[in-house]
């Protein structure tokens, strides 16, 4: 939004006069030091002549940003985290602590709080229950929701030795399948695409065992529904073998996906950027 203000050459004196937003507060906002109260952001929307969709796209984080942040949190929680990467992630998202209860970064904060508490050998049931309550309440399922489900499973493993492979049939994979029209093959293929995205992300953050369990369970559910195709069979088999042989470098994964069917360049670019993102964060 600050870029648009500069691009439209709107003077700060105009903003200050019309909205009552001081220059010092404005500069602190564009430097990410503070958030603006809602009345100021709505005032800027009107001043800039933005539509509702344009306005929301500016003030809400993208799905990729939210998913990447959660994935990084899961990634670094698997190691000793000597460089305090998890604290860095928490500092980057804690400003969302007081946002709407279903604002996605709120759940990343809950996940991180649970992990920090567990490191001090404290009980984390309260965090798990809050995350479970959200997952049970949602109607429209996204990649973030699927990934959050696996993050919660990870917390449950820490808390009680919870076995993922024994509970996948009652978790989000089954919930997603139940919400689809099983008489429409295209819906099942969309579901399969969801799962492949999640499996690739799990592999990239060194969650190979979980990735294999998710892949196998989702494919079993597809078989039981009576809707699968040759492409899905080959793709799942190739990915499964790669995971079991620990041959899961990024180039290998992309080669499997490309040779077994059509995949958009946007998806490959996303996974490539995501791999670079993890490598940079881990340096």
Q: Model confidence over 232-267: pLDDT tens digits?
A: 788 888 889 989 988 888 777 777 777 765 555 555
Regarding whether 150 and 23 lie in a shared domain, the answer is no
How much is the mean pLDDT over the chain? 72
Identify the residue with better confidence: 97 or 57. Answer: 97
User: Is 202 in contact with 71 (CB distance < 8 Å)?
Assistant: no
Domain count, the chain: 2
Regarding whether 87 and 17 lie in a shared domain, the answer is no
Q: With cut-offs at 50, 70 and 90, classify the pLDDT of residue 121.
A: confident
Regarding whether 161 and 109 lie in a shared domain, the answer is yes
Based on the number of CB atoms within 10 Å of its own CB, is 93 exposed (0-12), middle (13-18) or buried (19 or more)?
A: buried
pLDDT at 186: 58
Among 30-44, 96-110, 208-222, the range scoring the smallest mean pLDDT is 30-44
Regarding whether 196 and 152 lie in a shared domain, the answer is yes
Regarding whether 172 and 104 lie in a shared domain, the answer is yes
In which domain, by residue range, is 192 found? Answer: 63-281
Q: Is the pLDDT of residue 52 over 70?
A: no
pLDDT at 60: 47
Regarding whether 83 and 153 lie in a shared domain, the answer is yes
Cα-based distances in Å from 237 to 31, 222, 242, 243: 48, 14, 9, 10
Is this prediction's pTM over 0.85? Answer: no
In whole angstroms, give the CA distance from residue 154 to residue 78. Answer: 10
Among 36, 59, 82, the domain boundary falls at 59
User: Is 263 in contact with 238 (CB distance < 8 Å)?
Assistant: no
Residues with Cβ within 8 Å of 8's Cβ and at least 6 positions away in sequence, in order, are: 48
Q: Is the pLDDT of residue 137 over 60?
A: yes
Regarding whether 17 and 82 lie in a shared domain, the answer is no
pLDDT at 266: 52
Regarding whether 93 and 39 lie in a shared domain, the answer is no
**65-93 pLDDT, tens per residue?**
676 777 777 777 765 666 677 888 888 88
For 137-205, give the DSSP string: H-SS--HHHHHHHHHHHHHHHHHH---GGGTGGGSHHHHHHHTS-TT-HHHHHHHHHHHHHHHHHHHHT
Q: With cut-offs at 50, 70 and 90, classify the pLDDT of residue 154.
A: confident
Each as own residue / partner, the long-range contacts of residues 94-99 (CB below 8 Å, 24 or more positions apart, any chain) are 95/35
In whole angstroms, give the CA distance from residue 116 to residue 124. Answer: 9
Regarding whether 24 and 119 lie in a shared domain, the answer is no
Based on the number of CB atoms within 10 Å of its own CB, is 150 exposed (0-12), middle (13-18) or buried (19 or more)?
A: buried
pLDDT at 204: 75
């Amino acid at each position: 939004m600050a870029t648009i203000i500069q691009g439209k050459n709107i003077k700060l004196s105009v903003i200050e006069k019309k909205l009552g937003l001081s220059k010092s507060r404005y500069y602190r906002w564009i430097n990410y030091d503070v958030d603006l109260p809602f009345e100021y952001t709505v005032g800027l929307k009107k001043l800039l002549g933005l539509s509702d969709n344009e306005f929301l796209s500016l003030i809400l984080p993208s799905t990729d940003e939210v998913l990447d942040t959660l994935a990084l949190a899961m990634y670094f929680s698997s190691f000793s985290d000597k460089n305090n990467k998890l604290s860095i992630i928490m500092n980057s998202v804690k400003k969302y602590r007081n946002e709407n209860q279903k604002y996605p970064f709120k759940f990343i904060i809950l996940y991180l709080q649970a992990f920090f508490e567990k490191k001090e050998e404290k009980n984390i049931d309260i965090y798990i229950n809050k995350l479970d309550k959200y997952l049970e309440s949602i109607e429209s399922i996204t990649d973030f929701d699927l990934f959050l489900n696996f993050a919660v499973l990870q917390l449950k493993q820490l808390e009680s030795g919870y076995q993922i492979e024994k509970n996948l049939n009652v978790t989000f994979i089954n919930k997603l399948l139940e919400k689809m029209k099983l008489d429409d093959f295209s819906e099942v293929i969309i579901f399969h695409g969801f799962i492949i995205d999640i499996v690739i992300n799990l592999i990239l953050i060194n969650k190979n065992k979980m990735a294999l369990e998710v892949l196998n369970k989702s494919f079993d559910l597809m078989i039981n529904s009576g809707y699968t195709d040759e492409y899905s069979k080959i793709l799942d088999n190739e990915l499964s073998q790669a995971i079991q042989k620990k041959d899961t470098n990024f180039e290998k994964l992309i080669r499997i996906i490309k040779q077994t069917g059509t995949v958009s360049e946007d998806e490959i670019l996303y996974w490539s950027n995501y791999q670079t993102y993890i490598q940079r964060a881990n340096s």
